[in-house]
Amino acid sequence: MNNQKKEKIQIKDESNDKKYFTIIPNYVLNHSTHWDREVYIQMKKIAGENGTCYISKTKLTKQTGISKRKLDKSIDYLINNKWITFIGKKQIETKGGVQFVNEYKVNDIWKLNIDYYEGGARKTLPSYKRGCTEGGAQNDYKEEPKKNKNISVSKADSPHHRIFDYFNEEVKKRFGVFPEFNGARDGKLISGRLKKYGEEKVKKIIDYYLDSEKCKKFGFNLSVCLSSDTINKYLQENEAYV
């Protein structure tokens, strides 16, 4: 029998076919709110495959489009569920001088993701209750286990959240920035407008406002966008009888 030592071969993939991709486990997408997902995606994008994420809260709030209070809550959620780990403080150079920012490691949860959807370790998984996108047509979420009473149904894919997302994405696409929201005030306003006009018309009103002179004056303000004055002008210009 040949007793020669086995030679280890190390192959480094330098094809660059994985550049500019951020791959997110379905488990994260289906067990988090819109805000939690956005924070996780941005942190994973910054960290890359084997790195860590260190960025100021101010910059991260701009990239995610959420307030510092919501950012803190989302980071706590990601840490508590062991999706990320706080490493410590890191010293970085900024235009204003030296600054210390939090550094995080994005944990490898692919085994958790695979076990959950293939059922191999479903009985031992923790019960997350922050959100889970279940429901829809029969094959919409075919990878999601059909019976799991420990997970609540998420509102992240509701018309209410889709309007938040639409406004956020349209402002980013047109102007290159993420708008700030007043969750309680704007959320209540959206609910009322959806009930009266429906999702598609609310989106048209958003488009109308973002293209208007009023937007230049008042900025990316969702409460002004969906105000009675804006809606009345939209209806007058687009739906009034001639």
Give the domain ranges of the chain: 26-124, 159-238
Specify the pLDDT at position 145: 47
Contact indicator for 38, 65 with CB cutoff of 8 Å: yes
Q: Which of 39-53, 189-203, 214-228 has the lowest mean pLDDT?
A: 39-53
Going by pLDDT thresholds of 50, 70 and 90, the confidence category of residue 23 is confident
Specify the pLDDT at position 192: 92
Residue 49 to residues 18, 91, 126, 233: CA-CA distances in angstroms? Answer: 10, 22, 25, 49
Going by pLDDT thresholds of 50, 70 and 90, the confidence category of residue 142 is very low
Assess whether pLDDT exceeds 60 at residue 78: yes
What pTM was estimated for this model as a whole?
0.49
Assess whether pLDDT exceeds 90 at residue 224: yes
Q: What is the CATH topology of the domain spanning 26-124?
A: Arc Repressor Mutant, subunit A (1.10.10)
Mean pLDDT of 125-139: 41
Amino acid code (one letter) for 212: S
